[in-house]
Structures are given as C-alpha cells and as structure tokens.
C-alpha cells in the first residue's frame, strides 16, 4: 500500500487524477485514508451500522469535492474535516440533544489509578458507550483537538456551553470507567 505524503509532487498529481475520475488514484487515496476515517466515523456513531453509512456518505462527499482541495495544508486534515462534518450532520439529523444544564452528575467517581490500566482501544470502547451528545463533545475536543470556540461554532453553542458539556461528558465517562473497572475487581 502506497503512503500519501503531502509534500511529494506525486501526491498532488494523485489527487488531481482522482478528481478527474482515475480509479487507480482514488483507490490509493482510499487505501491511505480508509482505516483512520472509518475509526473516526465509529467514534462519532458509536455503532458499526451507522459508522458504515456515515463512512460511505463522507467518502462520496470527498470524491465530489476533490477539485476543492487546493494543496495548501494536509490532505488528510482536509479529508478529516469532511468526515467530521458528515458525522455531525448525521447526528443533527438524528436530533442529538445536548445534556440539559440542570442535570446533575455526581463528580465523586473514584477513577484514580484506573487510567493506568487502560489501553487506547479500551478507552475508545468506553467512549462508544456514551450517549451521542457526550461522545460528540469528547471526540471533538479530546480526540480531534478542536477548541471550545470551534466546537461552539460547529454545534451552534457558546464556548462556555462547550466547556460545560465537556465537563459533564468527562464526568459521565469517569462513571462508566469506574463501573467497568469495579465490575472487573
């Protein structure tokens, strides 16, 4: 499998060829991105069925927008924005509502030291158990690295709303982690 390198002249030719309908070039792009982008869709969807649909929708958008990639910045970063946008669109269509401000979550979770026993896959599996609103905010901030301002813009809320939602989501995740590891003994 050929690796796409953003700084190589071949890379820009590859994208241009794929934009012009070259299947082989598109296949190389697909092979380079599919694993990462599918993982991204799975993180947002929380289940395989939706992740498969969202992944397919996002790749169709990517194909239709290849001509819009201007070569400035990372192609993978550009593609990631398309995939995140597609996931957020699906979540909005499903009427994902954010947690009401009034809902109180006990902050005494007892997760000290538990994180040391977890690997990345364990954490991703636990994140998938979260409700849509919590999984979305954690993915955007902790996994994708979006700022609270960017999240606010994407989810049509204030920066403070984003901070509040992240706090609640993290608290809920800590509760799930505590329950999971308490059950293991």
Does the residue 102 lie in any domain? no
What whole-number distance in Å separates Cα of residue 2 and Cα of residue 96? 38
Contact by Cβ (8 Å): 54, 90: yes
Does the residue 100 lie in any domain? no
11 vs 25, which has greater pLDDT?
Answer: 25
CATH of the domain at 140: 1.10.10.10
Q: Are residues 86 and 27 in the same domain?
A: yes
Of 63, 93, 123, the residue at which a domain comes to its end is: 93
Does the residue 110 lie in any domain? no
Q: Are residues 17 and 85 in the same domain?
A: yes
- In tens, the pLDDT along 137-185 reads 998 998 888 999 999 988 889 999 999 999 999 999 889 888 877 776 5
Q: Are residues 53 and 120 in the same domain?
A: no
CATH of the domain at 28: 1.10.1740.10
Q: What's the structural domain count of the chain?
A: 2
Q: Are residues 80 and 122 in the same domain?
A: no
Burial tier of 142 (Cβ tally within 10 Å: 0-12, 13-18, 19+): middle
What whole-number distance in Å separates Cα of residue 14 and Cα of residue 31? 13
Does the residue 21 lie in any domain? yes
Q: What is the residue range of 142's domain? A: 115-184
Q: Are residues 16 and 73 in the same domain?
A: yes
DSSP codes joined into one string, 101-142: TT---------TTTGGG--HHHHHHHHHTS-HHHHHHHIIII
Does the residue 2 lie in any domain? no
Q: Are residues 85 and 125 in the same domain?
A: no
Does the residue 65 lie in any domain? yes
- In tens, the pLDDT along 27-64 reads 999 998 999 999 999 999 989 999 999 999 999 999 99
Q: Are residues 20 and 69 in the same domain?
A: yes
């Amino acid at each position: 499998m050929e690796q796409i390198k953003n700084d190589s002249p071949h890379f820009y030719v590859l994208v241009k060829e794929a934009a012009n309908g070259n299947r082989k070039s598109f296949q190389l792009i697909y092979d380079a991105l599919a694993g990462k982008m599918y993982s991204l869709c799975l993180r947002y969807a929380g289940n395989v069925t939706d992740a498969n649909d969202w992944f397919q929708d996002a790749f169709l958008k990517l194909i239709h927008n290849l001509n819009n990639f201007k070569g400035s910045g990372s192609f993978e970063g550009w593609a990631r924005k398309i995939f995140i946008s597609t996931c957020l669109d699906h979540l909005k269509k499903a009427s994902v509502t954010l947690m009401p401000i009034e809902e109180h979550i006990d902050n005494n979770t007892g997760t000290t030291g538990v994180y040391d026993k977890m690997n990345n896959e364990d954490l991703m599996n636990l994140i998938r158990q979260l409700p849509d609103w919590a999984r979305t905010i954690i993915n955007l901030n902790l996994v994708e690295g979006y700022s609270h301002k960017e999240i606010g813009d994407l989810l049509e809320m204030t920066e403070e709303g984003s901070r509040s939602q992240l706090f609640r989501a993290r608290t809920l995740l800590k509760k799930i982690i505590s329950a999971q590891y308490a059950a293991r003994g």
